[in-house]
Amino acid sequence: MQTTPARSPTDRWRFHRAVWRWHFYAGLFVLPFIAWLAVTGAAYLYQKPIDRWIHHDLKVVQPAHGMPTSASAQIAAVEAVAAGRTFRYTLPERVDGSVEIGVQQADGARDVYYVDPGTARVLGSLPDKGTFSGVVRRLHSLDLIGSWASALIEIAAGWAILLVITGVLLWWPRGQRGGVSSVRGRPAQRLFWRDLHAVTGVWVGAVLLFLALTGMPWSLLWGKQVNVWANGHDVGYPAGVRVDVPMSDQRLADTTATSWSMEQARLPTSHVAPAQHAAPPQQQAHEGHEGHGGRVSGDLAPQPGAIGIDAALERFNGIGMAPGYSVALPRGPMGVYSASVYPERVSLQRVVHMDQYSGRILLDMDYADYGALGRGLEWGINVHLGQQYGTVNRLLLLMACAAIFLLCVSGAVMWWKRRPAGGIGSPPLPHAKRTVAIVFALLCIGGILFPLMGLSLLVIGVLDFILTRGWRSS
């Protein structure tokens, strides 16, 4: 009877070596990004209290005794000192908070003025998104280095997903006693950092995977295309935007900060009566077809016959808008008042559009109106931001950010201790080059789901194939 020869130890570990090689490449590329995102993300978790502390003179006021001043008086006070028109009015969430009034200048630049609602005194201004939290968010998204930075975020998030998957495969117990749930050795030894990296990674890997996936909606290609697809198939933004109401060609994201699911939502149009707006004949002819994509101008000047911001706020308060909501002011004679609020609990998200002349509610949409994909992604985004479950959500993510940073540091130290002189220290290839090809092909499945990451994976795979003369081990 013929017996099958026992496989050599090298043969048994060939799959491990191939996975290790791609895990190394993933870490080499993505660890600096992950460490950066962990640090900036931890700071963003506590944006509101930090903003109140840093910008205390702008954001905190003495609670008003008696009736506060009107919104129109506050806007008039701002426009008396600002070179532009008001485009957004935001009420405070707390009784000791200031009103925030967004002003757009003639060249398109935007500033936010802070006003004491009790006295209508202008406290000062900052550039739009110029608060501490605004800067941290731009740092977190790498937006400060250009619009193409979202492509780097998408690539890094895709590689982070591969990093978690390959890391779990490398951690999986194969009879060893250490490095599974305990750390061996001392800090001077590479073994200590290897075990620390493995144990930390397996505990925080699920959170890292979740954060990478829920961060994808902001990415350049994947996020944009999924948003367009979801909103085109009734699984993204509310079906309410497709009711038989005259719609403009303006998007909600053009007027105010909005949720991911609402970025493609078009604004309805106000009904323009002839007595309210005497337009040239050509413009009147176009407005007669406003239900088929009517145009909203960028004119922020108050329109004759409009109810005004004070009456609009009274109506929005009357329908129960949550505290801290913003109102985007109408643009041109066909524009609408758009109130939006995005509290910590995703179920309280709400967007309401109002006719600027009659005060009639044209559309009233909330989280329950989103499609299935929209609800799922919005919930994930809210958890990602540390908002959905309040203090518990923030504390868990803060600990996760610290663990992710430790994961990056331990990986870097482990590599530094094993790197050879004059090389990057790539893990050795298995003797069977077919094993490397199989692992590479499996990873390419993820590249299909996330195209930018897939393109970078293909580039690295081709370079590795060429430099190793066809994945031949030395």
| CA-based nearest residue to 241, from 378, 362, 380, 396 | 362
What's the predicted TM-score (pTM) here?
Answer: 0.85
Round to whole Å and give the CA distance between 458 and 440. Answer: 9
Tell me the HSE value of 110 on the side-chain side, using a 13 A CA sphere: 14
DSSP 272: -
The DSSP letter of residue 301 is S
Domain boundaries defined on the chain: 22-45+139-219+390-467, 56-130, 237-370
- Kindly report the backbone phi and psi dihedral angles of residue 352, in degrees, each rounded to the nearest multiple of 5, phi listed first: -130, 130
Please check whether residue 296 is in contact with residue 331, taking contact to mean a CB–CB distance below 8 angstroms.
yes
Radius of gyration of the chain from Cα atoms? 28
Residue 35 belongs to what H/E stretch? helix 14-44
Distance CA 331, CA 299 (A): 5
Q: State how far the Cα of 235 lies from the Cα of 87, in Å rounded to an integer.
A: 30
How far from 56 is each of 49, 64, 76, 97, 464, CA to CA, in Å?
10, 17, 23, 10, 54
Write the single-letter amino acid at 19.
V
In a structure prediction context, what are the per-residue pLDDT tens digits for the chain, which is 474 residues long? 444 444 444 555 678 888 988 899 899 888 999 999 999 999 999 999 999 999 999 999 999 787 899 999 999 999 999 989 999 999 999 999 999 999 999 888 999 999 999 999 999 999 999 999 999 998 898 877 776 777 888 888 899 999 999 999 889 887 677 778 889 989 999 899 999 999 999 999 999 999 999 988 877 777 777 777 776 666 666 655 556 667 777 777 777 778 777 777 778 889 876 555 444 434 443 343 333 344 555 688 889 999 999 999 999 999 999 999 999 999 989 999 999 999 999 999 999 999 999 999 998 988 988 888 888 989 999 999 999 999 999 999 999 999 999 999 999 999 888 887 777 888 888 877 788 888 889 889 888 888 888 999 999 999 989 988 888 876
Continuous segment of H or E residues that includes residue 416: helix 390-418
> Distances from the Cα of 244 to the Cαs of 223, 241, 412, in angstroms?
29, 9, 58
Domain 56-130 top-level CATH class? alpha beta
